[in-house]
Structure 1
Amino acid sequence: MYETFTTVIGTVVTEPRRRTTSTGEEVISFRVASTSRRLDRERQHWTDGPTLYLTVSCWRRLLTGVGAAIAKGRPIIAHGQIKTNEFQAADGSRRSDLEMTANSIGLDLSRCVVAYRGTPAQDKPADQAEKAVPESDSADTGTIVEEQRPPAAA
């Protein structure tokens, strides 16, 4: 199967929902809106283009970080595998929805300012730090301590 990976920059438009599947796995899902913007140089103002809506699903190692950092209204960058889900609506019509299974999620620092505070073990000098865990096995459990939105561009 051909897997399509993409990166989407957008805004979270629903509160993230944490649920457990029938197989016992946890997942957090939320909707993202991404609107393209173009500068109309003749009129010197920005014009909005069409909006892309998609559902982002986060599994396994993403659960802790996404649960702590992602909320409705936050600007994010999401990278992952994208696919189309086709389904039958309640009225009997066939519909489709775009879904991303995320590999990485982050706050878009071009649209917000975030101060980050790591865990105490990360703040110790190297000679006092406990045994290092290989990067592939570690999870950074720092927290967002402040979020500010920069002034809107005129």
Structure 2
Amino acid sequence: MNETIVCVVGNVATQPVYRESAAGPSARFRLAVTARYWDREKSTWTDGHTNFFTVWANRQLAVNVAACVEVGQPVVVQGRLKVRTEVREGQQQWVSADIDAVAIGHDLSRGTAAFQRAVKPEAPPTAVRPEPNWKTPGPADPQDGLTPQQERGEMAVT
């Protein structure tokens, strides 16, 4: 519920690493996001600070990332931000910012892409059930044991 959802635009900094595990496929790569600003004194765009994120993709998204994302490509990543802090080598504090991706796509403001749907594996065939017999018995059908008069609702008076 109280998750931090982010949308980040940047460049792929490392080749995606793809892994198959019991939980399903996963892929990860580093994303570089550099702020740019207009420098009035120089009248040019200038690069600011660069933030690096580790982007994690799971299941079909991981398969697709491994197939089409490469170093240097501009991408848009949407997902849950997780900041982790660890102590390494005794005293040094190490901080990482991870994004559990929900969606990843190429930034079309900086290039073109050709979309191709992923082919889903065929589902195993299901057992064929016989079609039910919807035929209603006719009035002279001896299998139900009723006479035509009984079917019409006529009562025999004796």
Q: TM-score, length-normalised on structure 1? A: 0.69
Shift of 1:43: 2.6
**SS of aligned partner of 1:61:** helix
Work out whether 1:6 is the aligned partner of 2:6: yes
Moved over 4 A (4+): none
Shift of 1:29: 0.3
Counterpart-to-counterpart distance in 1, 2:14 and 2:7: 19
Aligned to 2:25: 26
> Cα deviations across residues 34-88 of structure 1 (Å, max 9, x unaligned)?
0010112343201111111010000123122211111111110000000112223
Aligned to 1:141: 118
Aligned to 2:154: none
RMSD: 1.9
**Gaps (5+ residues) in structure 1?**
119-139, 143-154
Work out whether 1:95 is the aligned partner of 2:97: no
**Gaps (5+ residues) in structure 2?**
120-158
Summarize the Cα distance change of 1:3–1:9 in structure 2 as closer, same or farther, 3 Å threshold. Answer: same
Residues 85-94 or 60-69, more deviating: 85-94
Aligned to 2:54: 55
For these two proteins, the number of residue pairs brought into alignment is: 119
Tell me, yes or no, if the aligned pair for 2:37 and 2:47 is still in contact at 8 Å.
yes
Summarize the Cα distance change of 1:27–1:117 in structure 2 as closer, same or farther, 3 Å threshold. Answer: closer
> Cα deviations across residues 95-145 of structure 1 (Å, max 9, x unaligned)?
11000000000001111222x264xxxxxxxxxxxxxxxxxxxxx228xxx
**SS of aligned partner of 2:67:** helix
Which is greater in Rg?
2
Work out whether 1:109 is the aligned partner of 2:86: no
Larger strand proportion of the pair = 1
Summarize the Cα distance change of 1:117–1:84 in structure 2 as closer, same or farther, 3 Å threshold. Answer: closer
Percent identical pairs in the alignment equals 33
